Every structure is written in structure tokens, then in C-alpha cells.
Amino acid sequence: MSRRQKADRIRHLLATEGDAVFENTTHVNAGRLEANSHRDDIEELRSEARRIKEDAIERLPELVETVRESVEANGGTVYVADDAADANRYITDVVEDRGADAVAKSKSMTSEEIDVNEALEAVGVEVCETDLGEFVIQVADEAPSHLVGPAFHKSTGEIATLFNEQFDPDVPLETATDLTQFARDHVGEQIRDADVGMTGANFVFADSGTIALVTNEGNARKCAVTPDTHVAVAGVEKLIPSVAEFPPFAELIARAAGGQDIATYLSLLSPPVDSPVVDFEKPDEPLDGATDNREFHLVLLDNGRTEMREDEDLRETLYCIRCGACANSCANFQHVGGHAFGGETYTGGIATGWEAGVHGMDRAAEFNDLCTGCSRCVNACPVKIDIPWINTVVRDRLNRGTDQEFDWLVEGLTPDADPGGVDVQKRLFGNFGTLARLGSATAPVSNWLADWGPSRAFLDRVAGVDRRRDLPEFQRETLRDWFASREPLDTAGDADREVVLYPDAYTNYVLVDRGKAAVRTLEALGVDVAVASCHESGRAPLSQGMIATARRNARRVADSLDPYLDDGRDVVVVEPSDLAAFRDEYERLLPANRAERLAEHSYEVLEYVYGLLENGADADALAGGGDVAYHSHCQQRTLGLDVYTEAVLERVGYDVVTSDVECCGMAGSFGYKSQYYELAVDVGGTLRDQFEAEETADREVVASGASCQEQLAGLLARGNRHPVELLAPE
Amino acid sequence: MGTDTVDGFAAALSTADVDCTRTTAADFEAVLDDVVDAPAVGTPLGIDGVSLDDTIVELPPTPRLLDEAETGVTRVHAGIVEYGTFVVQADEAGTEPVSLYPRTHVGVVRASDLYEDVRSVASWLGDEFAAGRDSAVLATGASATADMGELVTGVHGPQTVHAVVLTDR
Ligand code: SF4
């Protein structure tokens, strides 16, 4: 898809599905945060859940054997299917053997993955989706747009129109209650008439051959126990050892998915179950326990999962419990929804991992770039999957152009320079440091040139830099130049603390004032400051999936900071995304000991100031007082650092209102890209609305991230600064 | 099990919009007839000293009864105090479908079968699984969906749920 086609598609989805998705995700997110706040052990539960999944995936072959034995001992059958065709062949055989012509099916992404409905319909079997969301999608003949809420992108009004057109009821349906009643009755009939019930499985307990179904509607139970034949389709990754491992998932899944403390129904069925078959064709025959004719088939689907398991970076995907929280917490998803953000089957944050693993890189490529790496999903995920890293890895592999389906699985990430195949747009944004150095050296000419119509047209055409976006303005005097030509403040060195300020390209060449303010603030509090040389942290190339370049950047940064660390200096960082790279990503880019030492001694500037004040530094040395509207930064929030900025500002007399949107929408280079510009502005609109609301409209705006500052500059009539600029003494 | 446990269970039930009636074995039949809307269908409770035999509840269930009954009455084999959850085990008598099909589910639970949290009930379930009773549903409140744009209850499952707690059992 060309950039223009991509932009058109996004514009279309923003206009048609954006509002419904925004409303639904906002609602679900609020519920998740609220439900999590009821318990203080969520972090322990997440760690426990992750440990269980890690262990289960490690022991997968053994668990498959165990479940085979236990299901067979119960009287059922296990079939491990290599791929979709294999699974469908088996399932259609079972259905045909039973002479069935109708199947009632409850929601299951795995059965979507194999397109089992099409396979069954091809042999003349009617399939009825019984989950109401799935049913809507089936009637509309669309694809699900969310892992949990398939019809997430539809409003009540749209569903009413759809049902009224399709079913032409005597009294037109209007409200959600009308629609639910109607769907319940319609689908209820289909369940009664079905010869086979099909379900997925959220978990499979190997020991007892139990499938766990997590639902709020009763349809999964009805599908599983009403007809005499039950087929459950599940990815092999759903296996866990036994019911003993179930509690953390029972506690987490509904919270993560929809903000409930616990799902309405957690069905633990070890089929064939003892429940009598309910045969509505013999209405007056007592249910008497004649269950001998029950049949059960567990179809465990591989479809690329074994290879994912062998893959260092994609393995984590298999820990996913498909709760959809990553999608809900994603600012881009909130605005454009799962039809932009998904591949053939899976949508949302983790979709890249799933699609890359089960459908191949091509399917993942289409939407992979929509992940801006903001990292807000990381804390939302109940099994602590590093979703942004999976997106980065897939992007890197796409850059490398290894489109033979499974090459990348064995090739891994070799630390050579990024290949020539990386497109111009990625190269441009991935090497922002070089660009900034040149821009600064030739400022103001470079700035005029960048603003000049023909060069903007050229940039747009060749590199897809959207013309509607103001470009960063390079400063002739860099932060390092300024620092070198000045005397430290008198107070510097009083506190016995020594730091080295790490300036990235933005701080050194563009937003120089925030760097100066950081130096003056630290010196005012008695700290001796040095300024390191300006090397890119690797954040920019990482966001373009250029891992080799990022690794080279990381080495340079570590080389330049190591001598300061040897001297016992702390590292202070102005840009939160750089700190996120030091703390979270460098462990993947540098030898462990180097990464660890740097992570341990690095601080965000306001975090450091907070520490100084807590340890007795004199807050009176800082400027203070006033009303501010503060936008933290997504990675900063993920690291839990926003609170320090708030605390420091309040300590020196500022009244602070903080935005609660996930991301400003700019997200590094994302907002510059012509294919994503409109989405970036739409996402930013939520932030703008908060800062133009009555309570905040007159407040001074501050933001911690460089790209947040740029986005806010574009969105608001008034200017903005970095919080440290509020603190620096005159 | 003390009154605290039953109080906690009742409080959690009420958060889940489930009514709770406390009674003793001696008063059970009278209480049940109050709580149940006819026609009603049920399965044997298997609890000492209480029975559905002399109540308005019809046994054994048939498909027609499942379809037409207003109320389904079953044993609830365990309860989770923290969430007001019913643990209903599947059996050959049809406890699972009776708890699922009619518009109202009335669950009868012994106070001594209440467990504090998911973990303790999971460990009880572990023993039950080992003993061969290895299918159960943990049900909390009425069946619900938000798929039509707002929360609606009673989708493919009961719209109303009612707990009868036997405080002397
Ligand atoms: S990756 Fe995590 S948050 Fe996303 S669907 Fe899977 S389990 Fe849920």
C-alpha cells in the first residue's frame, strides 16, 4: 500500500469507526483501572501469571502428551493440527461423521484464525455464531475488530439499522435491550437446533483434560453442553499444567479485558461432561443422565506456534491470554480501531506477533508501523509481554526484507548495519541525530531551506514528511557550545553531587533551552554538572525497526558515559524516551553489565531534582508559583516517573493539572509521516480538548517529551515549555 | 462457618445484583416457595435435611421444562465469598443446564461450603477434580453482554440470580 492509500484508509476509518471505538475503549480502560485499584496484589498476580506461561511454553511438548492422555482417559479425543487446513479437515470430518448439518459456535479467535466457518459451509454445514458480538459481525459479514469485542467498532444505532434491514422485524429494533432480546432469541433457536457445539478454550489444563471458557454470556456453556458433540479448538499455547495454576488468570483476565473483578462465567469443563444432552426434539423425555453418546474432540492448533516457541523474540507472544488490554490502552487503536490495526485475524498491540507467527510477515507488515512504541500497553498486559519490542523486532525483520516466510525465525537479529533496503522515510527518521547536527551547523539557512515550499514538496514526495507539520527549528548555538563557553553558577558543587547531563539531538540542537534550564536547575541545587557529548540514544532508529543502528548508537552512548560513571557521576536525562531506552531497551542492545550499570545510575531530570529536594536541597533556590497544565510522556508514565514532576512542581508552589490521555499522538517521528499525520492529529485532539477545557485553558502548558512539545505547539494557540524550564532560576 | 462469612458472601452477592436469603434446614421449604416463581424446575440438592420434593419445583428436568420454567433451582456446591460466586458442578441429573436455561437461577448453598477467595476454592476444586468431579462453572451474577452498545443482562443465561444460604448446614 502506498503512503497515500494508507492515509486514505486511515481517514476513512477515522470517519466511520473511530467514534464507536473511542467510546468503547475509553469505557473499558476506565473499568480496567478501577478494577485493578480494588486489589493491591495485581503486580504479583501478573508476575505469577507470566511465570506460569513461561514454564508452560517451555514444557509444551510434555503438556501436549499429558493432555492427550487425560482427555482420552475421559473418553474424548485430542488432535494436534499442523495448520489451518489440517484442523479444518479434521473438524469437517467430525461434523460429517455425526451427520450434522448445523453447528453452534461460541467466540474463539483460534477458529477465526483457521476460518473454520468457511470450511464447514463449503461442505454444506450451517454455522451460527452465538456470541452476540460475533453474531453482529456474522450478520454484517465483516471481520472482528477487537480480540474481546468483535463488534467494538459499531454503535447501537448501526447495529439497529443492520438488524432491521436484515431481519425486517414487525416492530423496528431500537435500543440495546431490543437488540439483545432479538439476538438472544434468534441465536437461542440455533443452539437448540445444533447438532454440534463448537467452542474455543481460554486455557486447557493438561492434567485433567479440562478446558476453561471465560465468558459473560451463557452461550459458551450452552454450546458446550447442549448438543451431544463438542469440538473445542485451541492454540497449543493455551495449555497450562492444572487447575492449581488457574487462580492468577481467573483474577486477571476479566479485569484486563473489561474491568470486571471476575468474569460472569468461568466454566471448567472436562469433556465429555456428565451433564445430560438436552434434546429439544424430545421435549418431554426426562434428562436422565444417559450421556454415553457424548463425544468430545479437542483440536490443538500449531499453525506456526512451534516455530514461534523457538524464536527468542516472538516466543513471548505465546504467553498472550487474548484479553485485548494492549489494544484498549493504545492511543492509535483508540482512534482508528482494529480494522486498521490488525491483520487477517488478530488486532491490536499484540497482533503483530500473532500475525507474524501464524500468517507470516506480510500480514503483519500492513499495520506494524501503527505501533509507535509508546509502551503504554506494557503495563496493561496481564502477563507482562513487551509488546513494543515484538513490534520493533518484526519491523527490523521487515526492513531486512526476509520475506521467505520462516527465514527470520532462524536468522534472528544479526548486529550488522541496517541493510540498504530500509526505506528513505525510515532512514531519515532513524538518523535524526545526523540530520540535527547538519541542520544546526548550517542554521539558520537550514531552517529557511526546510521551510521553503519546493524543499517541503521534495521532502514530502521522497521521504513522506508531511507538509502540514512544522519542522524542528535547529539552533546555531548548541547546548554543548553554550555550556563550554560559560562559568558554572556559584552554587555548583556545594551539594557534593556530580552528574553528567546526557543531551540527545533534540536537547543539543533544537530544544536547547530545556537543556540550559536543566543545567541551571541542577547547579542551583548545588550539583556539579558536566555535559556529555551528543550521541543518539538509539530511540529513533529503534522506532523505525533499525536495531543494528540502534545497537551502534547504544554502544557510542555507553562509551561516552562510561568514564563519567567510572568517576562516580550520576547520569541525568532530559528526554524521557532516552531514559526508557537506557532502562528497558539497552539490556537487549548492550552486554548485560554495561546496560545494568547505566540503567542503575540514570535518572530523568525531574526525578533527580525530586531526589535532591528529598535529601535536603533548598527548594527556594528554584523559581516557582503559577498554574500549569502538564502533559507527561507515555514512556515516562510507563516507568512511573510522571509523579516526580508533579511532586516537584507542587513543592515549589505550582498548581498542576495533568492530562490523562495515553499519548500525544506525535510519538517521535510518527506524526511527521504523511501516511499517519491525520491520525496523529486526531489522537492529539483528545489532548487538545483537555487543555482547552475551561479548567485548563488559562494555564501555562508544560510537557516532558520533545515530540509532545512539538505536537502541543501544533495543536494549541499558546506555546509550551519543558517543566524544568519552570524551575530554573533566572 | 461464622456469620461473618455469610455476611461477606451476601455483601458480594448484592454487588453482583444477586439477592440472598438466609434460612435453616427446617424452614427451607417454606422459604423456597416464597423465593421461587412457578413454573420451576430443579435437580436433587443432595444436602442432608433439605429436599425439593414437597415444593413447587418440578423434577426431573425435561427439555420442555428447561424451556418454559421461570426458575431453575439447583445446589451450589461452593461459594466464593470475595465475589459472590456460585460454583456449580456438572452432574448427570442436569444441574448445569437447570442453572443455565431458565430466566431465574436459585442456588442453594450450605454456609459450610463458602470459601474466602479464588485460591481457596481452586484448591478445593483440585481435590474434587482428583475425585472425578471435574466439571464446574464459577458463575457470578447474571449473564451479561455489552455487545449491543451498553450492558444488558440475561443473554443466553439467567437474568436474575438468587442465593439461598443454609446457615445451619
Ligand atoms: S498481549 Fe497482553 S494485553 Fe495484549 S491481548 Fe495478549 S495478554 Fe492481553
Check pocket membership of A656 for ligand 1, CB cut-off 6 A.
Answer: no
Nearest Cβ partner of A217 from B138, B145, B150? B145
Mean pLDDT of B77-88: 97
pTM over 0.90? The answer is yes
**Distance in angstroms (rounded) separating the CA atoms of residues A151 and A143:** 9
For residue A324, how far is its CA from the centre of ligand 1 (angstroms)?
A: 5
**Distance in angstroms (rounded) separating the CA atoms of residues A200 and A229:** 14
Check pocket membership of A381 for ligand 1, CB cut-off 6 A.
Answer: yes
Nearest Cβ partner of B156 from A133, A219, A288? A219
**What tens digit of pLDDT does each residue of A190-233 get?**
999 999 999 999 999 999 999 999 999 989 999 999 999 999 99
H or E element that contains A649: helix A642-651
For residue A462, the model assigns a pLDDT of 80
DSSP B25: T
Contact B148 A258 (CB under 8 A): no
Check pocket membership of A443 for ligand 1, CB cut-off 6 A.
Answer: no
**What tens digit of pLDDT does each residue of A111-145 get?**
999 999 999 999 999 999 999 999 999 999 998 89
Which of A216, A270, A288, A291 to mutate to probe the B interface, most B CBs <10 Å?
Answer: A216
Take residue B156 and report the three cell numbers written for it: 443466553
Answer whether A578's CB lies under 8 Å from A458's CB. no
pLDDT exceeding 70 applies to what percent of chain A? 97
**What tens digit of pLDDT does each residue of A23-36 get?**
999 989 999 999 88
Q: Which residues contact A634 (CB under 8 A, 6 or more apart)?
A: A331, A374, A375, A376, A662, A663, A664, A667, A705
Check pocket membership of A323 for ligand 1, CB cut-off 6 A.
Answer: yes
For residue A411, the model assigns a pLDDT of 36
Closest residue by Cα to atom 2, ligand 1, is A381
Q: Where are the alpha helices (H) located in A98-235, listed in sequence order?
A: 109-114, 116-122, 132-140, 156-167, 176-193, 219-225
The CA distance from B126 to the nearest CA of chain A, in Å, is 6
Answer whether A196's CB lies under 8 Å from A244's CB. no
**Distance in angstroms (rounded) separating the CA atoms of residues B143 and A220:** 11
Q: Of the candidates A266, A225, A199, which has an alpha carbon nearest to the alpha carbon of residue B91?
A: A225
pLDDT exceeding 90 applies to what percent of chain B? 87
**Distance in angstroms (rounded) separating the CA atoms of residues A342 and A348:** 6
Check pocket membership of A382 for ligand 1, CB cut-off 6 A.
Answer: yes
Q: Is A490 helix (H, G, I), strand (E, B) or coil?
A: coil
Nearest Cβ partner of B62 from A187, A243, A286? A286
Length of chain B: 169
Q: What is the mean pLDDT of chain A?
A: 91
Which of B67, B128, B150, B156 to mutate to probe the A interface, most A CBs <10 Å?
Answer: B156
Contact B148 A159 (CB under 8 A): yes
- Indicate if the pLDDT at residue A292 is higher than 70: no
Separation of CA A430 from chain center: 21
Nearest Cβ partner of B143 from A217, A268, A287? A217
Nearest Cβ partner of B64 from A136, A242, A284? A284
Residue A460: C-alpha distances to residues A9, A457, A463, A682, A704 (Å): 19, 5, 6, 20, 28
Mean pLDDT of A327-348: 92
Check pocket membership of A147 for ligand 1, CB cut-off 6 A.
Answer: yes
Check pocket membership of A385 for ligand 1, CB cut-off 6 A.
Answer: yes
Chain A contact for B141 (CB, 8 A cutoff)? yes
**Distance in angstroms (rounded) separating the CA atoms of residues A138 and A130:** 10
Q: Which residues contact B132 (CB under 8 A, 6 or more apart)?
A: none
Note the maximum CA span of chain B: 46
For residue A319, how far is its CA from the centre of ligand 1 (angstroms)?
A: 8
- Lowest-pLDDT choice from A297-301, A416-420, B65-69, B96-100: A416-420
The CA distance from B88 to the nearest CA of chain A, in Å, is 9
Residues of A with CB below 8 A from B92's CB?
274-276, 288-289, 291
Higher pLDDT: A241 or A178? It is A241
- Lowest-pLDDT choice from A431-435, A491-495, B56-60: A431-435
Q: Write B1-10 long-range contacts (CB < 8 A, 24+).
A: B1/B111, B1/B112, B1/B114, B3/B167, B5/B81, B5/B111, B5/B114, B5/B116, B6/B111, B6/B114, B6/B165, B6/B167, B8/B81, B8/B82, B9/B79, B9/B81, B9/B84, B9/B114, B9/B163, B9/B165, B10/B84, B10/B163, B10/B165
- Indicate if the pLDDT at residue A413 is higher than 70: no
For residue A409, the model assigns a pLDDT of 32
Query: DSSP secondary structure string, A655-679?
Result: EEEE---S--S-TTTGGGBTTTHHH
Check pocket membership of A428 for ligand 1, CB cut-off 6 A.
Answer: no
Grade residue A404 by pLDDT with cuts at 50, 70 and 90. Answer: very low
For residue A3, the model assigns a pLDDT of 87
Burial of A413 (0-12, 13-18, 19+ CB in 10 A): middle
- Indicate if the pLDDT at residue A166 is higher than 80: yes
Residues of A with CB below 8 A from B158's CB?
218
- Indicate if the pLDDT at residue A152 is higher than 90: no
Take residue A518 and report the three cell numbers written for it: 536543566
Contact B62 A285 (CB under 8 A): yes
Q: Which of A252, A255, A328, A381 to mutate to test the pocket of ligand 1 (most atoms within 8 A of CB)?
A: A381
Contact B156 A216 (CB under 8 A): no
Closest residue by Cα to atom 4, ligand 1, is A326
DSSP A311: -
- Indicate if the pLDDT at residue A562 is higher than 80: yes
Q: Where are the alpha helices (H) located in chain B, listed in sequence order?
A: 3-15, 28-35, 63-68, 95-100, 118-130
**Distance in angstroms (rounded) separating the CA atoms of residues A323 and A682:** 26
For residue A328, how far is its CA from the centre of ligand 1 (angstroms)?
A: 10
Pairing of strands A203-205, A210-215: antiparallel
Residues of A with CB below 8 A from B96's CB?
221, 225, 273, 275
Length of chain A: 730
Q: Which atom of ligand 1 is nearest to the CA of A353?
A: 1
DSSP A509: I
Take residue A168 and report the three cell numbers written for it: 425486517
Mean pLDDT of A259-274: 93
Grade residue A412 by pLDDT with cuts at 50, 70 and 90. Answer: very low
pLDDT exceeding 90 applies to what percent of chain A? 75
- Indicate if the pLDDT at residue A407 is higher than 70: no
Q: Where are the beta strands (DSSP E) in A291-378?
A: 295-301
Binning chain B into helix, strand and coil, the percentages to the nearest 5 are 30, 30, 45
Binning chain A into helix, strand and coil, the percentages to the nearest 5 are 55, 10, 35
Check pocket membership of A351 for ligand 1, CB cut-off 6 A.
Answer: no
Check pocket membership of A380 for ligand 1, CB cut-off 6 A.
Answer: yes
Grade residue A591 by pLDDT with cuts at 50, 70 and 90. Answer: very high
Which of B155, B159, B160, B161 to mutate to probe the A interface, most A CBs <10 Å?
Answer: B155
The CA distance from A449 to the nearest CA of chain B, in Å, is 51
Restricting to B residues 73-112, those with a Cβ less than 8 Å away from any Cβ of A are 83, 85, 90-97, 100-101
Answer whether A267's CB lies under 8 Å from A220's CB. yes
**Distance in angstroms (rounded) separating the CA atoms of residues A69 and A73:** 6
Contact A218 B143 (CB under 8 A): yes
Answer whether A476's CB lies under 8 Å from A440's CB. yes
Pairing of strands A570-573, A239-240: unpaired
How many residue pairs bridge chain A and chain B with CB atoms within 8 Å of each other? 190
Check pocket membership of A254 for ligand 1, CB cut-off 6 A.
Answer: no
The β-bridge partners of B18 are: none
Nearest Cβ partner of A251 from B67, B97, B118? B118
Answer whether A283's CB lies under 8 Å from B64's CB. yes
For residue A253, how far is its CA from the centre of ligand 1 (angstroms)?
A: 10
**What tens digit of pLDDT does each residue of A222-263 get?**
999 999 999 999 999 999 999 999 999 999 999 999 889 999
Take residue B79 and report the three cell numbers written for it: 461459594
A123 C-beta neighbours (distance < 10 Å), count? 12
**What tens digit of pLDDT does each residue of A303-318 get?**
999 999 999 999 999 9
Take residue A112 and report the three cell numbers written for it: 477465526
Nearest Cβ partner of B100 from A218, A273, A276? A218
> CA torsion sign, A245 to A248 to A250 to A256?
negative
Examine the predicted complex and report whether its ipTM is higher than 0.95.
yes
For residue A426, the model assigns a pLDDT of 82
Which of B64, B103, B148, B161 to mutate to probe the A interface, most A CBs <10 Å?
Answer: B148
For residue A418, the model assigns a pLDDT of 61
For residue A381, how far is its CA from the centre of ligand 1 (angstroms)?
A: 5
Q: Of the candidates A452, A312, A334, A335, which has an alpha carbon nearest to the alpha carbon of residue A386?
A: A312
Q: Which residues contact A676 (CB under 8 A, 6 or more apart)?
A: A6, A7, A10, A369, A370, A670
Residues of B with CB below 8 A from A190's CB?
none
Answer whether B80's CB lies under 8 Å from B138's CB. yes
Degrees, nearest 5: CA angle A311-A316-A320: 135
For residue A669, the model assigns a pLDDT of 86
Answer whether B61's CB lies under 8 Å from B92's CB. no
- Lowest-pLDDT choice from A166-180, A287-301, A440-454, B84-98: A440-454
Chain A contact for B146 (CB, 8 A cutoff)? yes
A457 C-beta neighbours (distance < 10 Å), count? 11
